[in-house]
Amino acid sequence: MAADMDPERAAARRDLAVRAAVEQGLLDSEPLVCLLDTAGIRASAAALAAAFAAVLVPGTPVLHAFAVKAAPLVPVLRLLADAGLGCEVAGPGELALARAAGVGAERTVLDSPAKTAAELREALALGIAVNADSRQELERLDALLAAAPSASPVGVRINPQTGAGTIDALSTATATSKFGIALRDPGAREWLVRAFLDRPRLTRLHIHSGSQGVPLPLIAEGVRELHALAEEINAAAGRRQVDTLDIGGGLPVNFASDDPAPTYAEYVSALREAVPSLFDGSYGLVTEFGRSLLAKHGLVLARVEYTKTTGSRPIALTHAGVQLATRTVYAPAAWPLRILPYDAKGAPKDGDPVAQDIAGPACFAGDLLATARELPRLAPGDLIGVPDTGAYFFTAHYGYNSLPRPAVHGFAVSPAGVRFSLARPAQSMSAIVAEAGGDFRDALL
């Protein structure tokens, strides 16, 4: 395991960053900041690349494309690009972010179940790889390509219908999933083979069978189905028409501890067991990981503003809630988060554990990050750290109560100390007003 992926070293860097955030005044004017461990992010990217490089035939084309939805921040995309990753985008906004980060068209993939003609036209003009999600979209692409030829690689997303994981809302390979062309529906497989034979420029197949709550064997089963379909198409075509398999992402993240499990090496091992010939050089590969690259390298750091006891239950009122951890607040059983207690100086807080609620600032009763969590009793001025939040948490703000987006700082630890770099400033009140139509105050009178 690379040194920067070691959980003990990562936890030590995190504690140093919390203390430095207090000492350097990051919390002086804001009661909440979000931190990203840049060394950890680079280590995740390196671990992904190394896991595939270790088993692939040398020279096999591989693109590891970061799923932008997991952390749509231009400096994050730039950091990952510098670490060798491209971008998987799901709409014009994410494409604009990828382009702003300097990610080239040849390292960008467009996926989405509801692409407009304008989105497709832009992607084709730029030469971005496109995965059609439906029969109707494929027909739309036919018309667009007939009108304006493109260098874009074009593929089709399939739904292998291999089954759900433990979180229904994130299971993309169920019998009725909205994504892709259902492979096991009557006549679908035959239609797909014919669709490729009728369209010689179709050269890719795409799948995304994994996500949080989906075990590795089930993810690998979906990839096996993808590979088998590619082999069938190529046999029917009498040539290697399908040359690239986009196997998606969706590696689950361990939210229970600092241990980064499962690892990319374990993921690759599961694929090798299920589809040994995936790595023999016959196909170029694309991956689309998001959460697993970023989650464990993010930390929410919030001040405890008040404490109270209600019905014998101690409650710590903080500034971290539904606006940052939307999934946890609305589905706590599926998205539990750890709470790390710190004192007002940023040192880890000790003391006898007391069952207490960790509440956010929003005006509804369910705005809780944790319920009856055993922690040293918190007091006003203390801090809570919420780890594993580098993807889909504070990066995907939810504007309940017009709560502002917090500042995001990257941090790097060296013998000289901790250096912070602002990746996104805190949202100003004027920006909130403008976003809410402030410039059009009288428009409805």
d(CA 316, CA 284): 51
d(CA 357, CA 422): 31
**What pLDDT score was predicted for residue 1?**
41
Of 101, 153, 105, nearest to 126 by C-alpha is 105
Residue 213: strand, helix, or coil: coil
**What pLDDT score was predicted for residue 169?**
63
**What pLDDT score was predicted for residue 179?**
77
Of 204, 138, 137, 210, nearest to 173 by C-alpha is 210
**What pLDDT score was predicted for residue 141?**
97
d(CA 156, CA 205): 5
d(CA 430, CA 427): 8
Please give the chain's pLDDT, 445 residues, in tens.
Answer: 454 678 999 999 999 999 999 999 999 999 999 999 999 999 999 999 999 999 999 999 999 999 999 999 999 999 999 999 999 999 999 999 999 999 999 999 999 999 999 999 999 999 999 999 999 999 999 999 999 999 999 999 998 867 566 656 655 666 767 778 888 889 999 999 999 999 999 999 999 887 776 788 888 989 999 999 999 999 999 999 999 999 998 899 999 999 998 999 999 999 999 999 999 999 999 999 999 999 999 999 999 999 999 999 999 999 999 999 999 999 999 899 999 999 999 999 999 999 999 999 999 999 999 999 999 999 999 999 999 999 999 988 999 999 999 999 999 999 999 999 999 999 999 999 999 999 999 999 9
pTM for the whole structure: 0.94
Active site residues: 363
d(CA 254, CA 387): 11
Residue type, 249: G
Per-residue tokens: 58: 């040398």
Of 286, 285, 321, nearest to 303 by C-alpha is 321
**What pLDDT score was predicted for residue 427?**
97
State the number of CA atoms in the 13 A half-sphere of 20 facing the CB.
Answer: 19
**What pLDDT score was predicted for residue 167?**
58
Contact of 328 with 369, CB cutoff 8 Å: yes
Beta strands in 32-90 (DSSP E): 32-37, 62-67, 86-89
- CA distances to 2, 50, 217, 249 from 230, in Å: 35, 25, 20, 19
- Give me the residue label for tokens 């040994």: 276
Per-residue tokens: 112: 């989405």
Task: Determine how β-strand 368-376 pairs with β-strand 353-359.
Answer: antiparallel
Residue type, 9: R
